[in-house]
Structures are given as C-alpha cells and as structure tokens.
Structure 1
Amino acid sequence: MTIDFRPVILAGGSGTRFWPRSRKARAKQVLTLDGERSMIQRTVDRLQPLAKPEDVWVITNDLLSDTICGQLEVVPDEQVVCEPAARNTAPAAGLAALIIERSNPDAVLGMFPADHVIADEPGFRAVIERAIQVAASGETMVVLGVTPTRPETGYGYIETGHVLEGGMARVRRFTEKPNQERAEQFVAAGNYHWNSGIFIWSARTLANAVREHLPEMTPLLEEIAAAFGTPRFQEVFAENYPKCENISVDYAILEPRSAKGEHHSNLYCLPANFGWNDLGSWAALFEHQHGMQVNTDEQGNVSESTGSLAFDARNNYVFAPNKFVALVGVDDLVVVETEDAVLITSRHHSQDVGKVVKELAARGRKDLI
C-alpha cells in the first residue's frame, strides 16, 4: 500500500538568533548559512525522494513568504500558508492537520523545522521512512530523538522507557531545557535523547489530538480549515488565528499525552543519529563548520571572508564576506559584519544576541531588525 506522505515545513521566525545577518524579513531559514542553498531549500531537498513537491506544505509569515516562494519554486504557492500572527508550533501544526484531514485523513504528516542541518541525508531518509510506516499503522505519534553527545542545556529532552525491536522506544516524558546538573544526569542515564523537533503522525491522529488537548482552539482552526481554498480563507484566517493560544506542540499535545503513561500514550521515539544540528546560535554554526573543517584554519578559526591571517588567535568565528580579516591575540570571539551593522561577542555569549534585537526594537530602530 502506498502511503500519502505530506511534509509540513515550519518556517516562521523572527530573525533574532543570527542577527545582524538575520532580520524579520530575512530569518535564518532563508539564509545560506551552510553551503550554497538556503536552510529551507536544503530541508525540502532532502525530503524530495520521500514526497512529491506538490505534497509539501510550508507554514510561515507574510514577511518571509515572498522570499520562500521564490526559493521554493517546486512548492505550490497556495501551500505556502502565511500566519497572520505568530502563534508557535501547535496552532501551525494543528491547522495543517485539519486542512489535510479534510482531503485524506490517512495521510501521514511530517513536521520539520525549516532550519536544521542534517549531515547524513540517506540515514535521515531511512529513519523518516520507518517513522512513516509506524505512523501509518495506527493512532501513533513518532518523535525523533537525537542521542546526546554532551550535556546540552539549550535543547529539550525525551526520556524513553521500554525499547522495542529496532531501537524504537516508548516515550516516558518530555523535559524542557534543563540546567547543567540535570543535563549531565540525563546524558549519564543513557535513556534520554535530544528533542529534534521532528514529529511524524497521520492527519487524523494529530487532528484528534488537537481536539482532545486544545478544545478551545479547535473550533477556530476548524473554521479556518473549512475556508481553505475559498475566497473567504484570508478573512477567516486573519480573524480566527490571532485568537489561538501561543503554545508549542510539545507543551500542548506531547507532554499531556506522555502523562498518560508510556503504555497508554501511543508515543514512540525513534533514534535519529544522522548528524543533526539545529544551528541555534553563532556558536553552534562555529561548532558545525569547525567539526566539518569548513573555512577552518590550523588554529581552529572559522572565517568566511575574502582572506584572513591569525596570529596567536584561536577558535574565533568571523563572517565578513567582503573584507580581509586579521586576528591577533584573541580567542573564542564571534565577529559578524553586514552592510549596516557589526556584531562582536564571545562564543559563550552568542545565545544573547536576541537581547540586542530586543533593545533595538525598544529604541525604534526598525531599520536594523
């Protein structure tokens, strides 16, 4: 039996993590941070062997939609759905499920962030193919869990219980970003995985989960879904969607579902060891390129520039594509130059770049955000 697989690419974003390169209208997913293709183009590229372009859906916003449509010429424009207000992943995923359920409730949906890096793409597709088979077999939800390589405090974790054939395990619970001590305990325990943010389930399964766990939001999304493809769609979307709760899939559906107990939740975790990285900061991009030995010198500096020299300088990240860069006596810096701004921080503090964007907004500097 052929399974109808529909990838749903979650591509909202406010453009804060990679400021000053990223802006509201140029968020991370449309940037070429890792090669010649943008992050969202690479996301769709790696899914092409599993789904036809006309089966791909993208949930984004008005500021990014024109760029995304231009970058994704293979995806039908009507399936690039623009949120009238930012409402996190639960309303976005729920709306996609309710729209697709109306045409094929048995279709299997894959929820994919638009801005992740996958090193082993054949391995990625093999795991997704297995997840699709599991999700098509019944009212099951499959989450992809990455085996942690370090006690990372910036990721959510999945605790697994009983291990089934082929390494798939039942989910016990989800834990949001832990402190350092708890992260170390999770890694030592051996049955915790990083939450990749990739979920596989049928349209019916997700739609029913939305109805169960988000009863107040469901009528709003149902009305939007019913209007999809009609002249009233934009009007209904603009009226109803901002009324939806701002909440993630994890909080809204997966955590309450896991609370039923691992043998009653129908939640499964598949190990996802295919070189996953969510590139959540300049430091993460440095670590990725450093690990891949891309633009990296003998002292561990990563430089995207017209040329560089380093004297007693180690493990710095520099983005200055139109400049020659000299590093002297500095370690662990991030230096990013664009036409209208320069960022200088340490790799350790690169997660705090969002504070700059927040302060620029407070000062009314819309030209820089």
Structure 2
Amino acid sequence: MAGGVGSRFWPVSTTDFPKQFHDMLGTGDTLIQKTFTRLSQIIPKENILILTNEVYNDIVLKQLPMVKQEQIILEPAMRNTAPCILYASLKIKKQNPDAVMVVAPSDHWIEDEVQFCANLQHAFDFCEREDNLMTLGILPTFPNTGYGYIEFDKLDSRPVKKVKQFREKPDYATARKFIQSRNFLWNAGIFVWSVKSVLNAFQEFQPVMFDHFMKGYDDYNTSKESDFIKENYPLAENISVDYAILEKAQNVFVLPATFDWNDLGTWGSLHEKLDKDENNNAVVNARVLLENASNNIIRAEGKKLVVIDGLDDYIIVDKDDTLLIYPKSKEQEIKTIVSKLK
C-alpha cells in the first residue's frame, strides 16, 4: 500500500511527493524501495503488487524499474484501506484462487529482515492451513499513544494468539495499563490471509462494498478494468480494513513479531531511528553548529549550514521555500497545520 500522503512529515512529505518516495533515513534508498526489496526476499518480484493513487504511477515506475505496469494498481480516489484491499484481492483471485497474500504498508522501518521473513513465512503457513485472518503485532516497548493496540487472549499459549479485540489509540494512562497487562501488542497494519478467507469476510461484513466491486470482476486483469475502476472506485465507502472486517470477524489471530519495527509516522518516530550526537540531536542532510541544543531532529536540503542555540526537543526542517520549527511534543498537530495552509 503506497497511496498515503504522510502529512505529519510535512514539509518533506507533500501531496505531490509523499514520504514513501523519500529517503527518510538517509540510507540511499526510499522507503518504498526498501519495502519492495524486503518483500522480494520471500515473494517473487512479479507477484508484488503496488497499490497507489494514480497520480503516483510515474514515481513508482521510476523508483521500481523492475516492476511492470500491470503490477501497479491505481486508485482514482483516496478511499482508505478496505476498498483497495478488496479490489486487489479480487484481482489476485482471478490469477490464483488459492493464493495467500500479505498486505504491507510501503513506509515502515524494519531492521531485522531475516526475522521479518521468518515471521511472514510462519503467517503464510498458518493461513494456508486455516480459514483465518492474521495480523502481525509488535511487542510494545513503552506506552505509545500514537498506535492502535491488539488485545489477545492471555490464556492462549500458542505462538499465534486469538485476538480478543482491537483498541483505538489510547491516552497515556490507558496505554500504561495495556503495557502492564502483558497481553497487548501494537497494531502494525501488516496483514496475512488467504484470498478466499478475506473475500469471505468482505462478503459477510461488507456486502454492499463486496457487490460493488464484484460488478467489475469479469473486467479485472483485462483492458476494460481501468474504465470500470475510474467510474466505480470513487463511489466506494471510505473505511479502513480494521473497521470494515477485522473488528467484526471472529477468526482473527495475531503473531507477536520478533523483528524491530517503527511505522515512521512522525518526525519523532524518525528521530528514534537516526544516529544521534551526544546531546541526542539527529541530523539529516545538513551541516550544523549546535549550542545548548538537545533532542532535536534537523533536516535540510543540499548540506545547508544550520546554526541553533537554545532549542530542546524541536523539529527543524528546511525544504525548498518552507522552514518548519516546531515542538516535537506537538508533532501530531502538523497534520492540522497542513490543512490550515491549504
């Protein structure tokens, strides 16, 4: 899934060029390139589909030159994750009704790729045998209020746990209780299931959406598909796959992941993963002179010289004709700032 805008990473991430197409970590690869490389360790490259907005088609082809046009599933409108997953699942069913699939965001940071592949194979094996829906959960390291949580059955001693319920982003006190109870995981938004299982779930819990996309089933993977999707995709309900099916289904399981993970959703989460100086400042593409400065993330273009005195816990980003100087404690509000600027 590579269709999001990533507005909390403004001004680097913009509607024209979202964060998944940027080298956010300064590694030499963009986030979508790293995701494709990671998945291709366990999935044939020709079996990887990229779901993105139609305006990003050329960017995807440029950054992933090994991908064919038919592997890029273009959305003519932003309708959250449920419609794009249903659409892709129906296309896959026409190719292989026995397929098992993973749904992965294109903008996550995963360090231990060997463990990631091992977890993914475990999930594939489980979903090949059972009519179940699976998600990968991340063991919480602190009471994060920016993630959703997955509650699993405490008494379940199996490696794969039965999900009791999904919980929305909590306040700090609730997040602390989740951590202390030891049967909550962060919801990473990485899903594994057979095509048959996920389509059965959509048919049961989202019959209107299912019927809507089934109208074009004969056209999928043909020259007629584009016209059907352009006309009908924008009419689909704007809803996440969590709300649409996962919170309703009774056959949902979670595998506690054994790899390090970060959703890279905010400047603060990026700060966690970058190298830092002795005062916990992280610097990307800039030359700096820092006095009485700590816990900041500083990003500039073209190795610009940045001089800072007396700032603690700030986001400082210089991009084209925009300069952002913003408290990290208020980073969730950057999305609102972007809306006001529009």
Provide TM-score, normalisation by structure 2.
0.96
Distance in 1 separating the partners of 2:190 and 2:16: 24
Listed one character per residue, the Cα deviations across residues 8-54 of structure 1 (whole Å, up to 9, x for unaligned) are xx111124121111111211111110211111111110111211111
Q: CA deviation at 1:280?
A: 0.7
Distance in 2 separating the partners of 1:17 and 1:61: 19
Q: CA deviation at 1:72?
A: 1.3
Q: CA deviation at 1:139?
A: 0.7
1:301 counterpart residue number: 281
Q: Secondary structure at the match of 1:314?
A: coil
Across the aligned residues of Structure 1 and Structure 2, the Cα RMSD in angstroms comes to 1.2
2:228 counterpart residue number: 236
Query: 1:95–1:225: 8 Å Cα contact kept in structure 2?
Result: no
Q: CA deviation at 1:224?
A: 3.2
Q: 1:311 aligns with which of 291, 296, 321?
A: 291
**Structure 2 gaps, min length 5:** none
Query: 2:151–2:165: 8 Å Cα contact kept in structure 1?
Result: yes
- Matched to 1:40, the amino acid is I
1:261 counterpart residue number: none
Listed one character per residue, the Cα deviations across residues 167-206 of structure 1 (whole Å, up to 9, x for unaligned) are 2211111111111121111111000000010010011111
Report how many aligned residue pairs link the two structures: 339
1:7 counterpart residue number: none
2:318 counterpart residue number: 337
Is residue 12 from structure 1 mapped to residue 3 from structure 2 by the alignment?
Answer: yes
Query: 1:305–1:325: 8 Å Cα contact kept in structure 2?
Result: no
Q: CA deviation at 1:313?
A: 1.0
- Matched to 1:344, the amino acid is I
Q: Secondary structure at the match of 1:139?
A: coil
For residues 268-279 of structure 1, what are the structure 2 equivalents within 5 Å?
Answer: 268-279=253-264
1:21 counterpart residue number: 12
Query: 2:301–2:320: 8 Å Cα contact kept in structure 1?
Result: no
Distance in 1 separating the partners of 2:211 and 2:294: 56
Distance in 2 separating the partners of 1:135 and 1:105: 14
Q: CA deviation at 1:114?
A: 0.6
Identity over the aligned pairs, expressed in percent? 39
Q: CA deviation at 1:337?
A: 0.5
For residues 115-126 of structure 1, what are the structure 2 equivalents within 5 Å?
Answer: 115-126=107-118
1:174 counterpart residue number: 166
For residues 216-365 of structure 1, what are the structure 2 equivalents within 5 Å?
Answer: 216-257=208-249, 265-289=250-274, 294=275, 296-322=276-302, 323-361=304-342
Listed one character per residue, the Cα deviations across residues 66-105 of structure 1 (whole Å, up to 9, x for unaligned) are 1012111222211201111111101111111111112212
- Matched to 2:282, the amino acid is V
Q: 1:79 aligns with which of 71, 77, 80?
A: 71
**Structure 1 gaps, min length 5:** 1-9, 258-264, 362-369
Q: 2:24 aligns with which of 9, 15, 33?
A: 33
Q: CA deviation at 1:338?
A: 0.9
